[in-house]
Amino acid sequence: MKQPHPARRSVGFRHPVWSCYAPQILGGIVDFMREHELWRLATENDLFGEMEAVKLDHDWHGDGLILFRATEEELAAFRQRGQAVVLTSTEGPDLGFPRVVTDNAMIGRLAAEHLIECSVGHFAFLARGETYYREEQFAPGHRRYSRERLGGFRTKLAEYGAEPVVHYLKGRPLWKAQTWREIETEVMAFLDTLPSPCGLFVADDPLGAVALRAADRLGRKVPADLAVIGFGDDAVCCYATWPALSSIAYPGREVGRKAAELLWRQMNGETSLSGRIEIPVGKVIARESSDTLAIADPDVRDLVRHIRLTAPHDSLRVSELAERSNLSMTTIKARFSSLLGHGPKQEIQRVRLRHLQHLLSHTELSLAVIARDMNFGSAHELSRFFLIETGMRPTEYRESLGNHSTASKPAAVQAVVFDMDGTLFDTEKLYYEAYRRALENQGGILEKEVYFQHHAGTTNAAIEAKFAEHFGPDFDLARFRADWHEAWKSLVGRKALKPLPGIQEALELLTEAGVPLAIASSSDRVDIDLCLQASGLAPWFRVIASGDEVEESKPAPEIYQLACRRLGVEPSDCLAIEDTQHGVDAALSAGMRVIKVGEVPDQSREGLLFAGSLDRIERSQWAELLAGSPELRPRAS
């Protein structure tokens, strides 16, 4: 007798029709299925009766779903039914389900490298700041991916002493007939302010196509005046304009494979899968919109790109070019002379001189520092090179700039670690109320002053142990723990948890600066996740260190040390944001600098700054803090 085939599990895949990534992601999903387990795939479609029309929403009852984005209502329904879910967008809620997304910071770095190769003198970034949709599943609102891509773009440009001009488009209802015209007009106004030649990184290809059309209407020559690169390698957008748009390829097949793997693991019983998996990108598709080289010889084109990326930081020799290309030095010199009108040595010197002039415009940089960064043997060697090339000494060149130079310092802060309770949210009051109710159930009393003076900022386990010791053998610890947890969840779940003033703006600004963010909270991990999901802040944080993961709670430094290890950054290179004395002591003991929000602390302690509240720190002051400024002067209320 034949054995019946086991029933295939049913998996739904939902991706918006306006995105070109769906076929690539589906290909990766099918790759995984072929190697592990065949599923019955369901996709939303409307093929005019040729296939069953499927709707993948909160009423769909399959085994798992791979979704671009989803609403909280949908995710809650899937969670309640025990369905596995993986999301493939940076935006929108996740309710603790995992995400598989592109490495947005890496996208920004690749865009910067490509535009640096184009040898432009200025840089700009264009993205959507806020997007309006009628469909809740598309997560209308501010865009994190734009800020993450800008962060990577800025970080790479900073290595070359450059800073981009940034513009976020205003939010508009995309379903209205004339919205496209308003967007194009706004993009034209932005492009009209940019100097020439300029390298423009546009956050995605659809907006990149808009930028190219706007440039055409303005009469800006692309790529001579404006070199443009987008992201996604969306063929419709990249070839819908002339010149064709350069782009960074979306790693769709890898995203699909990883999403399928995480879904499969969930369906097979793994329950600890959450957070965000980032898929690296690695391929720039160069087209006419950024082809400033316009060199037909592929060997020479590769060498020129190598010079433009490397020469600002290293005194290349022509012999190194020969080793890189397998061409003889004689052949290289002849081809350079034929195609560029000068030899490879002159191209190296031209690139180094241009970068040196840029660094000299930053008057806070000493000649010794510039010489070290550009790999000159000494400041004297730098000065001699500059004099030979320009007929001026570096000091004379700086004097000729007058007051037009700008200051830019490399960031000294490599990561920022936030406390949660009382720093991100005013949750300490909720904890107090939960503990108070739980004690009241056993006839105990908890005064507010006692809680905030002796317990705020310490772990739940430490607080429970203190209460058990204080109330003696008749105290039912298990009941107390269950009661306060129930009260806590009820209090948090009543309404969306609102971040404290200045938090949202700080998270956006730090992400735009390419600074990794983490949380070091004495709360248990389950409570941290609950708060981050209720507030919508979860996607901002790369790392979480919780009180139930360490032996000693704040004021011991262990939890901050754990956060720094997970970030891969030394504590001395991190900035902590705290609101309690216990937290301040913990961060300082770990060797971090600290911004204390709330009541005025002992300001004589080294490494401790006072902000009152984060909304009183201006953008320029954040820049100074990230550059290692030892002072903070909050603006007046």
pLDDT in tens, 304-352: 888 888 888 888 888 899 888 888 989 999 988 887 788 899 989 988 9
Whether residue 637 lies inside any domain: the answer is no
What whole-number percentage of the chain has pLDDT above 70? Answer: 91
Per-residue model confidence (pLDDT) at position 139: 59
Rounded CA-CA distance 185/38 in Å is 49
Q: Which two three-digit tokens encode residue 545?
A: 């260190």
Q: Which two three-digit tokens encode residue 242?
A: 């002339």
Whether residue 632 lies inside any domain: the answer is no
Domain check: are 504 and 602 in the same one? yes
Whether residue 18 lies inside any domain: the answer is yes
User: Among residues 497, 504, 561, 507, which one has the least CA distance to residue 533?
Assistant: 497
DSSP letter string, 3-71 = PPPPPPPEEEEE--TT-S-HHHHHHHHHHHHHHS---EEEE----TTSS-----STT--SSEEEES---
Q: How many CB atoms lie within 10 A of CB 496?
A: 11
> What are the CA-CA distances from residue 398 to residues 97, 115, 126, 313, 393 (Å)?
55, 26, 32, 21, 9
Per-residue model confidence (pLDDT) at position 77: 92
Domain check: are 390 and 524 in the same one? no
Q: Please, which pLDDT band fits residue 404 given cuts at 50, 70 and 90? A: very low
Q: Give the active site residue among 94, 233, 419, 615.
A: 419
Write phi, then psi, for 14 (nearest 5 degrees). Answer: -130, 125
Write phi, then psi, for 593 (nearest 5 degrees). Answer: -85, 150
CA 490, 493, 498, 504 dihedral sign is positive
Per-residue model confidence (pLDDT) at position 636: 41
Reply yes or no on whether 225 is catalytic.
Answer: no
pLDDT tens, residue by residue, 106-146: 999 999 999 998 888 899 999 988 776 656 656 556 788 99
Whether residue 631 lies inside any domain: the answer is no
Residue with tokens 């034949």: 2
Whether residue 586 lies inside any domain: the answer is yes
| pLDDT mean across residues, the chain | 86
Domain check: are 118 and 235 in the same one? yes
Domain check: are 486 and 505 in the same one? no
Q: Please, which pLDDT band fits residue 230 given cuts at 50, 70 and 90? A: very high
Q: Please, which pLDDT band fits residue 571 given cuts at 50, 70 and 90? A: very high
Domain check: are 286 and 154 in the same one? yes
DSSP letter string, 223-279 = TTTEEEEEEE--HHHHSSSSSPPEEEEP-HHHHHHHHHHHHHHHHTT-----SEEEE
Provide the 3-class DSSP secondary structure of residue 577. strand
Per-residue model confidence (pLDDT) at position 255: 97
Rounded CA-CA distance 501/597 in Å is 11
Per-residue model confidence (pLDDT) at position 376: 93
* Triad 580, 541, 543: Cα angle to 5°: 85
If DSSP states are collapsed to H, E and C, what string results for 407-423? CCCCCCCCEEEECCECC
Rounded CA-CA distance 630/626 in Å is 10
Domain check: are 259 and 247 in the same one? no
Domain check: are 95 and 194 in the same one? no
Confidence check: pLDDT of 289 > 90: yes
| CATH number for the domain harbouring residue 308 | 1.10.10.60
Per-residue model confidence (pLDDT) at position 600: 64
Write phi, then psi, for 163 (nearest 5 degrees). Answer: -135, 130
Domain check: are 573 and 515 in the same one? yes
Per-residue model confidence (pLDDT) at position 602: 53
Whether residue 409 lies inside any domain: the answer is no
Provide the 3-class DSSP secondary structure of residue 524. coil
Domain check: are 242 and 331 in the same one? no
> Which residues lie across from 84 on neighbouring strands?
64
Confidence check: pLDDT of 403 > 50: no
What whole-number percentage of the chain has pLDDT above 90? Answer: 41
Whether residue 134 lies inside any domain: the answer is yes
Whether residue 258 lies inside any domain: the answer is yes
| CATH number for the domain harbouring residue 596 | 3.40.50.1000
Write phi, then psi, for 80 (nearest 5 degrees). Answer: -65, -35
Q: Which two three-digit tokens encode residue 206?
A: 């659809």
- The domain total for the chain is 5
Confidence check: pLDDT of 1 > 80: no
Task: Considering only residues 338 and 4, tell me which one the structure prediction assigns the higher pLDDT.
Answer: 338
Q: Are 25 and 261 in contact (CB under 8 A)?
A: no
253 half-sphere exposure, CB direction, 13 A CA radius? 4
Rounded CA-CA distance 191/296 in Å is 29
Domain check: are 174 and 225 in the same one? yes
| CATH number for the domain harbouring residue 443 | 1.10.150
Q: Which domain holds residue 432?
A: 428-493
pLDDT tens, residue by residue, 89-111: 998 888 889 999 999 999 999 99
| CATH number for the domain harbouring residue 16 | 3.40.50.2300
Q: Which two three-digit tokens encode residue 227?
A: 């070199």
> What are the CA-CA distances from residue 473 to residues 470, 476, 477, 545 (Å)?
9, 8, 9, 33
* Triad 258, 259, 261: Cα angle to 5°: 65
Confidence check: pLDDT of 356 > 70: yes
Domain check: are 372 and 487 in the same one? no
Percent helix, percent strand, percent coil in the chain, to nearest 5: 45, 15, 40
Burial class (CB in 10 A: 0-12, 13-18, 19+), 616: middle
Domain check: are 558 and 468 in the same one? no
Per-residue model confidence (pLDDT) at position 133: 61
> Which residues lie across from 596 on neighbouring strands?
578, 610
Per-residue model confidence (pLDDT) at position 103: 95
